[in-house]
Amino acid sequence: MLKRVLGILGKDWVYTRRENLLVYMFSLPIVIAILLRLFLPAAEQAGLTFAVDNSVPAETVARLGELGEVEVYDGREALLERVMQFDDVPGIYLENGQYVVILEGNEAEYIQELSSLSLDYVVQGKDLVNIGYRSSGVAATPIRGLAGALLVFFCILVGSITLGLNLVNERETKTITALAVSPVSTVEYMIGKSILVLVVSLSLSLICTLIFVGPAGVNYLHLTAAVLSALGLTV
């Protein structure tokens, strides 16, 4: 039985290595994991950004820097061009001794309010509202956990696609007809197919998770349990 199962597994693995589409499918989760590793920290740490004209005093710019990131632009036109970009960044310039806030108009409501409140805080030098903080008990943003779960799910999906393409290949090459009259039973056939799905799904999940969160953040037991629990569904 073991010899027949390994034979099915070896045949599928040879076809998988020859199929360019599967090579691309194996590479895609790894590329996604790298992109998440690069860009997710920036999304998690995103805060309020101010675009200011160079007419704004350095002291005001420094105090705005305590509340968020500050980008200084040379001239009103450059400032307006920055505000009109896709992200929500308010513009601030000084005109006749008065500060003016420029908004594109489609910013989130909290951005509109925070830009004025922040400027009032900087100019007047005191808090306009009293803010209290209370920990929610969440150590990290839920975005990372959700992205990691979706990444593992995609790796498992690649394993199921591998099985599907191997079945298509067997029908096209008439291999399925030869297997039907061979000593290989249905149970042995399914075990051989399932092992390949498990190896592909678990290997990709492990590689992508290591890239995404690093070796210290991987719970190998939970990861293996997640892949095994989905194995029946993918097959």
**Minimal CA–CA distance to 92: which of 58, 51, 47, 49?**
51
- Percentage of the chain with pLDDT > 70? 80
pLDDT tens per residue across span 10-68: 666 666 666 677 777 788 889 988 888 887 755 554 567 889 999 888 888 888 888 88
The predicted pLDDT at position 13 comes to 66
pLDDT tens per residue across span 115-169: 777 877 777 766 555 555 565 555 555 677 788 888 888 888 888 888 787 777 7
Mean of pLDDT over the chain: 78
Residues 55, 73: Cα–Cα separation, whole Å: 9
The predicted pLDDT at position 138 comes to 53
User: Which run of H or of E encompasses 4?
Assistant: helix 2-18
Burial grade of 181 (CB within 10 A; 0-12, 13-18, 19 or more): exposed
DSSP 128-175: SS-------S--S-HHHHHHHHHHHHHHHHHHHHHHHHHHHHHHHTTH
SS3 sequence of 77-89 = HHHHHHHCCCCCC
The predicted pLDDT at position 72 comes to 92
Binned at pLDDT 50, 70 and 90, residue 206 comes out as: very high
The predicted pLDDT at position 174 comes to 74
Residues 181, 195: Cα–Cα separation, whole Å: 22
Residues 122, 61: Cα–Cα separation, whole Å: 9
**Minimal CA–CA distance to 212: which of 58, 7, 81, 32?**
32
- Percentage of the chain with pLDDT > 90? 6
**What CA–CA distances, in Å, run from 146 to 87, 107, 151?**
23, 26, 9
- 105: three-class secondary structure by DSSP: coil
Residues 65, 61: Cα–Cα separation, whole Å: 6
Asked if pLDDT for residue 87 goes beyond 80, the answer is: no
Residues 98, 55: Cα–Cα separation, whole Å: 11
The predicted pLDDT at position 216 comes to 74
